Structure 1
Amino acid sequence: MNKKELRKQQIEKLRDFADNEEKDREDELLLDQIMNTELLKNSQTIGVTSSLPVEVDTSKLIACLWDEGKDVYLAKAHNDANHSQDFLHYTYKSKLEKSKFGIEEVSDLDAQINDDLDLIIVPGLAFALDTHERLGFGGGYYDRFLAKHPDSKTVALVNSKMAFPTANWKVEKTDIPIQTIITPKQILRG
């Protein structure tokens, strides 16, 4: 199956799962898992994306990070030919606006940019549990960013509908595997 078909299939599967009590339960388990990792405890600057309904909910995670005194940075995609992105400092006072992808991003013109983060929580549609390969939404924003910032640690929160035993999609040279994958049942390190 090609990536375009798999993305479409995954989005449908995740849409069906989005209004399910099981998704809420898994989101809570994923939140508990990540909040109890040494990876998170040893990180001060954390990059995250404001989640879409089909993704693992990051709103409670962000609130917990603030409660822990962590510095939170939200991803902001740029409308350029390079499909670049930055991470902007995000507090409860930050102004947000929806991007062309429907994702809330910091809109404050004076928001601090920090692209050298301790930890980045990487979103996606599908994750291979054996190789930690990721299938994103198709823009290449995260792969390009991670290639330029290899020192940041990466983690993905992966619910049961996003987890694949192995990548059944074509993996490109430019695809960057995720270092740590957290599922509701386990933590897998690459």
Structure 2
Amino acid sequence: MNKKELRQKQKERLSSFADSTEKDTEDQALLTNFINSQILDGKESIGVTSSLSYEVDTSKLIAYLWDQGKDVYLARANDNPERSQDFLSYNYTTKLGKTKFGVEEVEDPKAKVNNQLDLVIVPGLAFARDSHQRVGFGGGYYDRFLAKHPNAATVALANSQMIFETATWNVEQTDIPIQTIITPNSILQK
């Protein structure tokens, strides 16, 4: 299956799942597994994306990171031909605005940019259990960012609807596998 078809099917699947109580249960299990893992040990600067309704909810995770005294940076896709992205400082008082895709991003043009992150929480629509490959939203922003910043540790939170035993999609040379995938029932290390 090509990625474009898979993205469409996954968006429909995840949108349907978002209306269930099971999603809330799995989101809480993912947060608990993240908290109980050792993934934050020695990590101070954390990059994350504000989630859409059908994605794993990152709001409680962000609040937890703030409570732990971590420096949180929110992803911002840059409107340029390179399809680059930056991570901007994000705290309780930061003003956010919605993009044309519905994602909340930091609005302050003077916000501190930090792309030398200790940990990046990578979003996606599908994750392969065996190879840790992912299918994102099609812009290549995260793969480009991770290629330029290979020292950042990567983790993904994947609910039961996002996990595939193996990649049923075409994996491209530019696709960057995720180091750790946290599921509602396990922590998968690469």
Whether TM-score is above 0.5 comes out as yes
Alignment of 1:126-141 (within 5 A): 126-141=126-141
- Provide the rounded CA distance (Å) in 2 between the counterparts of 1:37 and 1:111: 30
Q: Report how many aligned residue pairs link the two structures.
A: 190
Once the two structures are superposed, residues 107-164 of structure 1 have per-residue CA deviations (whole angstroms, 9 ceiling, x without a partner) of 1111100001000000000000000000000000000000000000000000000000
Q: 2:78 is aligned with what amino acid?
A: H
The corresponding residue for 2:5 is 5
Alignment of 1:86-105 (within 5 A): 86-105=86-105
**Identity rate of aligned residues, in percent?**
65
The corresponding residue for 2:159 is 159
Q: 1:70 is aligned with what amino acid?
A: K
- Provide the rounded CA distance (Å) in 1 between the counterparts of 2:107 and 2:41: 28
Once the two structures are superposed, residues 1-42 of structure 1 have per-residue CA deviations (whole angstroms, 9 ceiling, x without a partner) of 111111000000000000110000000000011112211132
Q: 1:165 is aligned with what amino acid?
A: E
The secondary structure found in structure 2 opposite 1:161 is: coil
User: Runs of 4+ in structure 1 displaced over 6 angstroms?
Assistant: none
Runs of 5+ consecutive residues of structure 2 not aligned to the other structure: none
* Bigger shift: residues 40-49 or 144-153: 40-49
The secondary structure found in structure 2 opposite 1:43 is: coil
Q: Under a length normalisation based on structure 2, what TM-score does the superposition of the two structures give? A: 0.99
The corresponding residue for 2:57 is 57
Q: Under a length normalisation based on structure 1, what TM-score does the superposition of the two structures give? A: 0.99
Q: 2:18 is aligned with what amino acid?
A: A
- Provide the rounded CA distance (Å) in 1 between the counterparts of 2:89 and 2:160: 31
The corresponding residue for 1:68 is 68
The secondary structure found in structure 2 opposite 1:60 is: helix
Runs of 5+ consecutive residues of structure 1 not aligned to the other structure: none
Root-mean-square deviation over aligned CA pairs: 0.6
The secondary structure found in structure 2 opposite 1:38 is: coil
- Provide the rounded CA distance (Å) in 1 between the counterparts of 2:127 and 2:139: 16
